[in-house]
Structure 1
Amino acid sequence: MKYGRKAARTGLLAAMALLAGCAGPGSGGEGGAGPDKPFQGKTLVFAAANHPWADAIKPLLPEFEAETGMNVIVQSYFEDQLTQKLILQLTSGTGTPDVFMYRPLQEGRMFDRNGWLEHLDGYLKQDSAYDWSDFSPQAVRSATVDGRLAGIPVVTEQGVLYYRKDLLRQAGIPVPKTLQELAEAARKLHDPASGIYGFVSRGQRSPLVTQVSSFLYSEGGDFTEGGKAAINSPEAIRAFKLYGGLLRDYGPPDVINMSWPQAIAFFAEGKAAFYTDATSIYHSVTDPGRSKVADKVGFAPFPAGSGGSRTYSITSWGMAMNPRTADKDAAWAFIRWATSKENVLAAQALGNTGARKSVWSLPEGTAAFPPELAAVIRGYGDTGIDHDRPVAVHVAEAREAVGEIVQRVMTGYPDIKEKADEQNAVLQSILDRE
């Protein structure tokens, strides 16, 4: 199976013919200028994050504009700046931007509740050639709110264990397959006097939540059970003690202040034996220009806990349509093009972890990834948990509730049950408000 630019053009023309023949769900357009270029003279504004995926798509835009007659204006922002900009614009009821990148698990429920996300199920029903079944089911669930599709996945993330191959080899330690083996290996390799710490990961209160999630799932728990807060369950307490204990006992002194940029930089400096985080940021440790251990990094599936090996597999970035765009058919044509098999392959060939299963089966779809990492990602298949944080409208508050328990472990409190009960009540109050 091969995807090329000719195939992309054929698929795009077929989609345009469909749109030209019948109005899309709730179409705001007037049909266009003709069957060959139905969007001749139209301008579409795309609000994008400063992200490698967007960088991969931008050079391909002239092809889309030539085929459709559409003019695409790209506005790029840092991720938090993008969120603030979107909230400001969408609150005002404007139709601009027409299409935008967003973080489904961080903003999706809040955006959906406010009516800022066009539901896309209707477009998929009338566009079988798009092959919606090709998308990872976990990624789809991440972008679904209350049973309705709120966006199209463009970047996915899975949990993975990063490790130093050289350190394990020198010490005769096998790659950990369980969380207990990880803790034991971190203990053996922890040697601060020589500048090596056993383990590093995110320690900041809110950022750590996405990484402790894999410990939580692998211990058989979740943030909620049956719609009720469950972060004081025995499984949750075991998971929080495991993760917090690794950071407390084998992490660097300032780990409590680390989010992912600081943690991965610490690992890339060659100062830690193990690191758990998302697959999507692997460039930071394999790029010789950024990593002192680029040729010494290994990748392994997330270690199993008492509930097995269970990690997240999510949509970290999606594409969404503004419900107030002046031309919904034009907006869908752009989303469809950007997330076609051909363009997912083009972006993934540059190292962006896409959501289409077929692309992962192609040699050119995995060529940019270390073979060991590609094998881990493919090995997860359709398994994995579709969230890496509590699923809530007020997700920032929910993350703080979880993170406070873990930080209690990190700062040396031997018994966290009371704090877990307290924060579970906080999380439940957040869920009750929704």
Structure 2
Amino acid sequence: MKTPRYALLLSGGLASFATMAWSETTLTIGTVNNSDMVVMQELSSGFEKANPDIKLKWVVMEENALRQALTTDISTNAGQYDIMTIGMFEAPIWGAKDWLVPFADVPAEYDLNDVFQSVRDGLSAKDQLFALPFYAESQLTFYRTDLVEAAGETMPEQPSWDDIERIASKIHKPDEGVYGICLRGKPGWGENMGQITPVANSYGARWFDMDWKPQFDQPQWKEALEKYVGLLRNYGPPGAAANGYNETLTLFANGQCGMWVDATVSAGFLTNPDQSTVFDKIGYALPPIGKFAKGNHYLWAWSLAIPKSSKNTEAAQKFIYWATSKDYIELVAEHSGWATVPPGTRQSTYDNPAYQEAAPFAKLTLETIQSADPTDATQEKVPYIGISFVGIPEFGAIGTTVGQEFAAVIAGDKSVDDALSAAQAATTKAMTEAGYIK
């Protein structure tokens, strides 16, 4: 009788890894409090049972806090973490600085070629891979099919931001506890700025010109920010300036948002009846465009990497191979269903008939991931790589500062013009001090 895949994983994982012997080791893992990472933490007991010499210590933080903690740790060589949850912003920058252990000899059974090339490219520098993706994502427009239909509207497969505004105005019923749209307002380069920047791209804006001069004084940024802020001020939930990814996910899952534009990875959570009250009322569309399709949706991968300061490199690699493997994906499928598996990383997932049947969002997710191009995301030329971020070390601080200005507009504490003026001044100062502007 064939041993079930689930049992194989719990009894030893990938065969070649199970034969390796380890002295007792504690791996400290810094990760984000997103739902897929919480599942990884729950299922990791199977890894510990199969590897009794390795103990896992989890340090789970919200997105902004995680980024600050990991950046501080790795830049000071503090060595607090053996495994870091990072993305396409950090991996190439930290890898180029020789702060990360490269994945140079990935075992054949891991099937690295199954991982999407664009995702591997985004986690690489100097022709070396510095992280392995736990899940990858782009963006989708999620909407309540019942509300849109009742309003006499039809969601286009490729909506514009004007379409989104029109529909939001018709389904916004705060007296009934339903808001027209939810979007991130919480300040942070990966929170509100990670969502606003693709909107800006789609209106023809860019962070910098070819001389690294900030562009917030240009009309494209004003048009984009006015659209984003106007949607939240007119049709969003109260306190939107404090809502990040987890907050907006919860609002939509609880039936309080008519629409939501955010990460594709959310789809698996939202279709789970144990976690979502609207699991059977969700429609999916492509991310909205302003005036242009280019750069209107990002590419991101929450990934696992090993800092050079770790003294447990081999044990850390063993865990990462397990957590990002095909077998782990099947483990999640057996645990909570195919729709909930970590998406966006492997071709084999999207070729799997069971996943195709369980995940009505799979086709659009794959389309957005494959069409996102970090090397060509703006109408005018730019000196940087990135769609939702600028791929330079200074961007973490700059993006968060700008995000604070924009959150103040969403909160009603500042005008669009004043926030853009402050963003222009602060970014110019930072780039001058960093030597980009002479």
RMSD of aligned Cα (Å): 3.8
Q: Paired residue for 1:104?
A: 87
Q: Paired residue for 2:223?
A: 238
The alignment's TM-score, normalised by the length of structure 2, stands at 0.76
| Correspondence for 2:101 among 96, 118, 124 | 118
Percent identity between the aligned chains? 22
Verify: 1:169 aligned to 2:149, yes or no. yes
Residue 382 of structure 1 aligns to a residue whose secondary structure is helix
Residue 200 of structure 2 aligns to a residue whose secondary structure is helix
Q: Paired residue for 1:189?
A: 171
Q: Provide closer, same or farther for how the CA distance between residues 367 and 294 of structure 1 changes in structure 2, counting only shifts above 3 A.
A: same
Conserved? CA contact 1:189–1:273, under 8 Å: yes
Q: For 2:402, give the aligned amino acid.
A: A
Verify: 1:211 aligned to 2:195, yes or no. yes
Alignment of 1:362-377 (within 5 A): 362-366=352-356, 369=359, 371=360, 373-377=361-365
| Correspondence for 2:293 among 308, 326, 335 | 308
CA distance in 2, matches of 1:217, 1:258: 22
CA distance in 2, matches of 1:227, 1:154: 36
Q: Paired residue for 1:355?
A: 345
Q: For 2:40, give the aligned amino acid.
A: A
CA distance in 2, matches of 1:6, 1:254: 46
Verify: 1:55 aligned to 2:45, yes or no. no
Residue 262 of structure 2 aligns to a residue whose secondary structure is strand
Q: Provide closer, same or farther for how the CA distance between residues 181 and 97 of structure 1 changes in structure 2, counting only shifts above 3 A.
A: closer
CA distance in 2, matches of 1:93, 1:37: 32
Verify: 1:155 aligned to 2:135, yes or no. yes
Q: For 1:363, give the aligned amino acid.
A: P
Shift of 1:312: 1.1
Conserved? CA contact 1:245–1:410, under 8 Å: no
| Correspondence for 2:266 among 263, 281, 289 | 281
Deviation sequence 1:289-325 (CA, Å, 0-9, x none): 554433222222112321127311211x211123244
Q: For 2:241, give the aligned amino acid.
A: I
Q: Paired residue for 1:140?
A: 120
Residue 123 of structure 1 aligns to a residue whose secondary structure is coil
Residue 319 of structure 1 aligns to a residue whose secondary structure is strand
Deviation sequence 1:57-95 (CA, Å, 0-9, x none): 514415753xxxx72211112225766765676577576
Q: Paired residue for 1:32?
A: none
Q: Provide closer, same or farther for how the CA distance between residues 253 and 320 of structure 1 changes in structure 2, counting only shifts above 3 A.
A: closer
Residue 317 of structure 2 aligns to a residue whose secondary structure is helix
Q: Paired residue for 2:402?
A: 401
Residue 117 of structure 1 aligns to a residue whose secondary structure is coil
CA distance in 2, matches of 1:95, 1:375: 41
Query: What runs of 5+ residues in structure 1 fail to find an aligned partner?
Result: 17-35
Residue 388 of structure 1 aligns to a residue whose secondary structure is coil
Conserved? CA contact 2:240–2:411, under 8 Å: no
Shift of 1:182: 1.1
Residue 45 of structure 1 aligns to a residue whose secondary structure is strand
Conserved? CA contact 2:200–2:225, under 8 Å: yes
Conserved? CA contact 2:27–2:316, under 8 Å: no
Residue 217 of structure 1 aligns to a residue whose secondary structure is helix
Q: Provide closer, same or farther for how the CA distance between residues 82 and 193 of structure 1 changes in structure 2, counting only shifts above 3 A.
A: closer
Verify: 1:71 aligned to 2:71, yes or no. no
Verify: 1:258 aligned to 2:238, yes or no. no
Residue 265 of structure 2 aligns to a residue whose secondary structure is helix
Conserved? CA contact 1:392–1:431, under 8 Å: no
Aligned length: 400
Query: What runs of 5+ residues in structure 2 fail to find an aligned partner?
Result: 375-386
Q: Paired residue for 2:379?
A: none
Shift of 1:333: 3.9
Conserved? CA contact 1:241–1:409, under 8 Å: no
- Judge which range, 236-245 or 40-49, deviates more: 40-49
CA distance in 2, matches of 1:96, 1:413: 39
Conserved? CA contact 1:135–1:356, under 8 Å: yes
Q: Provide closer, same or farther for how the CA distance between residues 347 and 428 of structure 1 changes in structure 2, counting only shifts above 3 A.
A: farther
Conserved? CA contact 1:42–1:71, under 8 Å: yes
Residue 370 of structure 2 aligns to a residue whose secondary structure is coil
Shift of 1:246: 0.9
Conserved? CA contact 1:244–1:410, under 8 Å: no
Verify: 1:268 aligned to 2:258, yes or no. no
The alignment's TM-score, normalised by the length of structure 1, stands at 0.76
CA distance in 1, matches of 2:97, 2:143: 42
Shift of 1:12: 4.3
Deviation sequence 1:340-393 (CA, Å, 0-9, x none): 222244346443224112222213345654x1x223212325211555334343
Q: For 1:427, give the aligned amino acid.
A: T
Deviation sequence 1:101-149 (CA, Å, 0-9, x none): 32225654775577532233x335xx55544332234433442357653
